[in-house]
């Protein structure tokens, strides 16, 4: 770990891999609070070096004029915690991106959607300490070095292969001190709960070419969304969550939450509109396959998966 201490607490050096909406917001909040944060950029590198990183937020706009910005990880220092905020479609690059950032105790926090991202990373890095991150936030990258935070903003984290939760507790403390709600949770349960929202709303906004508010306002769509939510809950409970099942009433909570959410295009709809590859593998294919291996058929979700794969083939 870094050798600096604040009030007897280890000061963590953070690396942000993928400084889009998620990495830009959470990394930006940590940096604004004075944390030691180092950002990897691709196309935005030159712009951010000259103009800084701007975040328009419902919690208050800010601009970081001085940013530890890099265009490759070989120029970066080793980090205590690496936040991977890439779209999961780019995870094959992690085998080459991550090694320069890692020391013996580095924790890699996969802030990505879907099921199986930690498992696949562990295959490439058997000794790596890995955690998962679930971002409950409405945010988009609107221009180079410019993030719009529209609603919510919580980050839940959970251990996949960390020896203990102490570093994750410190990450949450740092986030809380930076104005971000954060909590350490049991990872499998948290991932399935996130899928209850992600699976219906990401895919259906693409298939129906609309936004969350339009879906939730239509009675037929509400019925279909709710059916898929129940399917996700049942799949999680049958496969991973027998000891701590998700109650079926959670679907009603999610519907109610979305009714009061700022009208929003989820990340998959943004990718579709931009003609980019969509995160179908970890958000749809893996959950469907995993549930099937445990004897449960996610029939409605499997239909949505096939529709998304067809749409992807036409882009």
Residues marked as catalytic: 194
Query: In this structure, are residues 110 and 84 in contact, taking their beta carbons and an 8 Å threshold?
Result: yes
């Amino acid at each position: 770990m870094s050798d600096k201490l604040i009030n007897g607490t280890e000061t963590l050096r953070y690396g942000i891999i993928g400084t889009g909406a998620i990495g830009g917001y959470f990394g930006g909040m940590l940096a604004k609070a004075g944390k030691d944060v180092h950002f990897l950029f691709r196309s935005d590198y030159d712009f951010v070096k000259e103009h800084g990183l701007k975040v328009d937020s419902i919690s208050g706009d800010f601009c970081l004029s001085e940013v530890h910005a890099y265009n490759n990880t070989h120029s970066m220092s080793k980090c205590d915690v690496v936040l991977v905020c890439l779209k999961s479609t780019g995870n094959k690059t992690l085998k080459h991106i991550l090694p320069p950032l890692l020391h013996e105790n580095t924790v890699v926090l996969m802030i990505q959607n879907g099921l199986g991202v930690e498992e696949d990373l562990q295959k490439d890095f058997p000794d790596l300490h890995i955690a998962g991150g679930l971002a409950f936030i409405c945010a988009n990258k609107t221009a180079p070095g410019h993030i719009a935070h529209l609603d919510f903003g919580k980050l839940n984290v959970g251990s996949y292969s960390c020896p203990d939760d102490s570093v994750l507790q410190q990450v949450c403390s740092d986030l809380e001190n930076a104005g971000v709600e954060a909590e350490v949770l049991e990872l499998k349960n948290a991932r399935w709960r996130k899928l209850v929202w992600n699976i219906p709303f990401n895919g259906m906004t693409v298939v129906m070419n609309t936004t969350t508010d339009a879906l939730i306002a239509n009675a037929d769509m509400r019925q279909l969304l709710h059916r898929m939510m129940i399917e996700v809950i049942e799949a999680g409970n049958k496969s991973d969550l027998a000891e701590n099942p998700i109650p079926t009433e959670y679907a009603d909570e999610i519907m109610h939450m979305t009714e009061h959410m700022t009208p929003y295009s989820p990340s998959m709809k943004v990718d579709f509109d931009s003609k980019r590859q969509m995160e179908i593998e970890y958000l749809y294919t893996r959950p469907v396959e995993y549930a099937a291996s445990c004897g449960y058929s996610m029939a409605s979700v499997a239909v949505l998966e096939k529709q998304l794969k067809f749409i992807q083939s036409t882009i």
